[in-house]
């Protein structure tokens, strides 16, 4: 897996809401779109934005954001469908298990959990498959273990 990494935690619920809203509005600075921001925005979307069908819309939301900050979504960079969908399933699973209720406390607990680790998808995918072009461009089934029950195919 990867070396130990200490996540940057959030101090306020409003910081996470601002990330999520900035993602949707394509108004975040590129450097703010960190691993922690990805997971914080995902949890926020799942818990506070029931009007958004995450399974149907997450790819477009992230692709449009990437493009808005000058990024590209191609075979080598930008949006990665299999990683994104694995984390959406993981965040859903985490939400069924956490006792935290405040937004920042939940996101921080997620970031400190196994699911919040940067290498968590490698529990389900071989490195070769996960970092392949087909896995980046569209969801591919894991080759090591099934994703948690929170996975929903669109």
SS3 state at 119:
coil
* pLDDT tens for each residue of 99-115: 999 999 999 999 999 99
Start-to-end C-alpha separation, the chain: 29
pTM: 0.93
Domain boundaries, the chain: 13-137
Q: Is the pLDDT of residue 54 over 50?
A: yes
Going by C-alpha positions, the residue among 25, 37, 40, 151 that lies closest to residue 102 is 40
For residue 11, report the phi and psi dihedrals to the nearest 5 degrees.
-90, -35
| Residues 116 and 82 sit within 8 Å (Cβ to Cβ) | no
pLDDT band, very low/low/confident/very high, at 3 (cuts 50, 70, 90): low
Q: Is the pLDDT of residue 139 over 50?
A: yes
pLDDT band, very low/low/confident/very high, at 5 (cuts 50, 70, 90): confident
């Amino acid at each position: 897996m990867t070396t130990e990494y200490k996540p940057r935690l959030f101090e306020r619920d409003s910081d996470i809401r601002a990330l999520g809203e900035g993602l949707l509005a394509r108004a975040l600075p590129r450097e703010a779109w960190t691993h922690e921001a990805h997971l914080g925005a995902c949890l926020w979307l799942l818990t506070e934005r029931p009007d958004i069908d995450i399974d149907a819309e997450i790819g477009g939301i992230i692709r449009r954001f990437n493009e808005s900050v000058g990024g590209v979504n191609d075979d080598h960079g930008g949006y990665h469908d299999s990683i994104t969908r694995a984390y959406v399933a993981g965040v859903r699973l985490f939400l069924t298990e956490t006792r935290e209720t405040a937004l920042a406390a939940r996101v921080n607990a997620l970031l400190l959990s196994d699911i919040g680790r940067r290498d968590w998808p490698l529990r389900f995918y071989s490195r070769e498959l996960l970092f392949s072009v087909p896995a980046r461009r569209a969801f591919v089934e894991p080759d090591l273990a099934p994703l948690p029950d929170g996975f929903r195919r669109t």
